[in-house]
Chain A
């Protein structure tokens, strides 16, 4: 205040600041509340899923029925779905990882800068393409295109159980969904890996080159050791995405009972596609079954994501993924 401030003026400035203090309190309270809401939402996700799936998990105790609808026990019902989900996601990861790391390296260390920047933009935009579009593409374009490949695989590699079944003519098999999943998670893994590769200390790289290393040796000696944790965690995050991806699988796969053959249509199913296909018409016990299957999916992805985050946090200084 000014030098001529009198007693009453001082008092009023004090009350004014008290009003500000109230604003402070209200605002910090709001901010805190928002944080609490987020924690509550996650807790609720878990609690509600558990509550709604109890009738399917223990039908004798939590429902009027003796057993669930689709099978004798819940585990009998859910294990083929879990197996299908895991197989599709793991194949997708195996297909996508080498390519994604390759593109990330291409952008960060091989391409000239004038090419690398637009390619980076394009990859980011591709990550934004809605999953239903990938699903529609897989259903119409890809499924038809892979049939000759499946026939070939069955003919020459049929002794491997994975290619043991009849290839069929539609191509709407688990492997096709896995390929679509791989295409979908490719941009995610790529952009995470690129972020990390770019952060490799320039001095390390230049030191390696100065010692006469070729570009590949430089990458192997400086980039990969630096980025190892980041690559692993980005793969895990991609795996988490693939596990929970619904539309790509639902549209592409024609589902059925579990089978080791991944090239036969009308076999296998994944948890998300099972839910998406059946939930809109489900009620009562069937609904509980599906929510319980969702709970299993939630637990699997939770574990995968937590491992990924744990790796990231352990190597925080080494990673651009966090």
Chain B
């Protein structure tokens, strides 16, 4: 077994050791083949890695070699004992499993990095949640890094910004999105107009987020320079929470339209017809019958849309500026959202010479952001499950 696995298998093929001869199982590999091949691959890979590594043993290299050897070994073994078709089947099964494991590595690593970096900081400094960066200077961070002073500042302003900007974006996009999907499902008759709306909503889904940010900036700039004034003070006004909210709305509207449209189409036509038959007006039917039936799906779709824009960085970066103090007013002054805070703390640490405190704050903020987004996603699922219309016994 410790020698070449292939020859071992080939040798044992004609007399499957111990198992009863049976026409149905004849020509099949014994069940333990894959274990044998796996052990062989691991041992061989260990040898190869040690040889090629030249003294230093690389664990990653060992696992990669072992995986490749295992897949090849299984193919050869199956080819020898069974047939080519089985071998092809087996190699693809192994590749699919390999893809799955390969994808898990970075995804687990992302989550692990965030928790490992963010959780200790957040537990040690819970004040991060309710202080902002107002008054925190590079000197504070240098003191933290070099002299062990406590971590200053926090990201309350980020939380406030994210909350206000997302709220404004929701207020703008939900009515437009809802009404559009109602138009598409209830009013349009599949003419060119509704078809072009569907098409352009699809196109909107693909707008790069940074382009949405540029668009909002350009719109507000044009509006302010035309109607209010062109002085530097006015140009300064362009960057505010509302501009960011407009940018996020561009990203959010198509998501709301699509999910709501899907939900409205699921509402059975019998419900509408029953309502019409009672003489109820169309708009009242929509309000009292169609929307309540689809409510759970619509609400969960909107929650997912909110979750999506909460994590957006680029559009807010170009539209809302960057403030150190908490600003609750989205109509004036610069605002900082949580993702932008993370980005800025990583790229331009408060103290360029002492980046660790900034990185700590960024990771803690990243953890909070992930938790918020995951909670929103969970909420969407729970809403969809809990408030789903009762199934009638049909």
**Could you list which residues of chain A lie within 8 angstroms of chain B, going by C-beta atoms?**
17, 20-21, 23-24, 26-28, 30-35, 37-39, 41-42, 44-45, 48-49, 51-52, 98-103, 105-106, 110-111, 119, 122, 124-126, 128-137, 139-142, 179, 183, 186, 190, 214-217, 219, 237, 240-241, 243-247, 250-251, 272, 275-276, 279-280, 283, 290-291, 294-295, 297-298, 301-302, 304-306, 308-309
Task: Contact check, A32 vs B200: say whether CB atoms are below 8 A apart.
Answer: no
The reply to whether A51 and B318 form a contact with Cβ atoms under 8 Å apart is: no
A49-B211, A141-B109, A279-B317 are known; give 11 further A-B pairs, CB within 8 A: A23-B283, A28-B187, A28-B283, A32-B187, A100-B99, A106-B100, A130-B312, A131-B312, A137-B109, A142-B106, A276-B210
A309 to B182, CA, bound (A): 22
Q: Which of A106, A111, A136, A244 is B208 in contact with, Cβ under 8 Å? A: A244
- What residues of A have a CB within 8 angstroms of the CB of B139 in the complex? none
State the total of A-B contacts with C-beta under 8 angstroms: 273
Q: A34-B176, A38-B176 are in contact. Are A298 and B208 (CB under 8 A)?
A: yes
CB distance from B169 to the nearest CB of A (A): 13
Name which residue of chain B comes closest to A110, CB basis. Answer: B96
> Is there an interface contact between A280 and B322, defined as CB atoms closer than 8 Å?
yes
A42-B363 in contact (CB<8A): no
* B362 close to chain A: CB less than 8 A: yes
CB distance from A210 to the nearest CB of B (A): 16
Residues of chain A within 8 A (CB-CB) of B203 are 42, 302, 305-306, 309
The answer to whether B281 touches A24 (Cβ under 8 A) is: yes
Whether B106 pairs with A216 at a CB distance below 8 angstroms is no
Q: How far is the CA of A244 from the CA of B212 in the complex (A)?
A: 10
Chain A proximity mask over B81-107: 1 for CB below 8 Å, otherwise 0: 000011011001101111110110011
Cβ A136 vs Cβ B362 within 8 A: yes
> A residues within 8 A CB of B88?
214, 216-217
Contact B283 A243 (CB under 8 A): no
Q: Is the CB of A302 within 8 A of B206?
A: yes
With a cutoff of 8 Å between Cβ atoms, the chain A residues found around residue B281 in the complex are 17, 20-21, 23-24
Chain A residues in 8 Å Cβ range of B314: 131, 246-247, 250, 272, 275-276
Is the CB–CB distance between A38 and B282 below 8 Å? Answer: no
Whether A139 and B346, one on each chain, are in contact in the complex, defined by CB atoms closer than 8 angstroms, is yes
In this complex, the member of A26, A132, A279 whose beta carbon has the largest number of chain B beta carbons within 10 angstroms is A132
Cβ of B183 to closest chain A Cβ, rounded Å = 4
B34 within 8 A of A: no
B347 contacts chain A at the CB level, 8 A cutoff: yes
Q: How far is the CB of B126 from the nearest CB of chain A, in Å?
A: 21
Minimum-distance CB pairs A-B, first 4: A244-B208, A102-B99, A130-B311, A34-B179
* Distance, CA A216 to CA B97, complexed state (A): 13
Question: Once the chains bind, are B179 and A280 in contact (CB under 8 Å)?
Answer: no
Assess whether A129 is in contact with B346, with CB atoms less than 8 Å apart: no
Is the C-beta of B33 less than 8 angstroms from some C-beta in chain A?
Answer: no
Q: Is the CB of B205 within 8 A of A305?
A: yes
Closest Cβ of chain A to B332, distance in Å, is 18
A103 touches B99 (CB 8 A): yes
Cα A306 to Cα B201 with chains together (Å): 11
Given A42-B204, A272-B208, A48–B109 Cβ distance below 8 Å? Answer: no
Instruction: Choose among B99, B208, B221 the residue with the greatest number of A CB atoms under 10 Å from its CB.
Output: B208
Determine the chain A residues whose CB is within 8 A of the CB of B196 once the complex forms.
39
Contacts of B377 in A (CB 8 A): 124-125, 128
Interface string of B173-189 (1 = CB under 8 A from A): 00111111011101110
Residues of A within 8 A of B302 (CB): none
Known: A41-B250, A41-B253, A305-B203. A35 touches B183 (CB 8 A): yes
Within the assembled complex, what's the spacing in Å between the Cα atoms of A243 and B209? 10
- Given the known interface contacts A135-B343, A244-B211, A301-B208, the answer about A51 and B283 at a Cβ–Cβ threshold of 8 Å is no
Residues of B within 8 A of A30 (CB): 179
Residues of B within 8 Å of A304, CB to CB, are 206
Render B303-320 as a binary contact track against A, CB cut-off 8 A, 1 for contact. Answer: 010011011111001100
Contact of B100 among A103, A216, A251, A309 (CB under 8 A): A103
Given A102-B100, A134-B110, A275–B318 Cβ distance below 8 Å?
Answer: yes
Nearest B residue to A43, CB-CB: B200
Chain A nearest CB from B110 CB (Å) reads 5
Min CB gap A285→B, angstroms: 15
On whether the beta carbons of A137 and B370 are closer than 8 Å, the reply is no
Nearest-CB residue, chain A, relative to B182: A31
Asked if B299 is an interface residue, CB under 8 A from chain A, the answer is no
Partner of B110, one of A45, A133, A309: A133
| Chain A residues in 8 Å Cβ range of B204 | 38, 41-42
Q: With an 8 A cutoff between CB atoms, is B273 at the interface?
A: no
C-alpha spacing A128/B312, complex, angstroms? 10
Say yes or no: A45 contacts B207, CB within 8 Å.
Answer: yes
Residues in B neighbouring A309, C-beta threshold 8 A: 199, 202-203
Cα-based distance from A295 to B99 in the complex (angstroms): 36
Residue on B with the closest CB to A187? Answer: B107
- Please give, as numbers and ranges, the residues of chain B lying within 8 Å of A134 by CB-CB distance: 110
Q: Contact at B103–A298, with CB atoms within 8 Å? A: no
Residue B167 at the chain A interface, CB threshold 8 Å: no
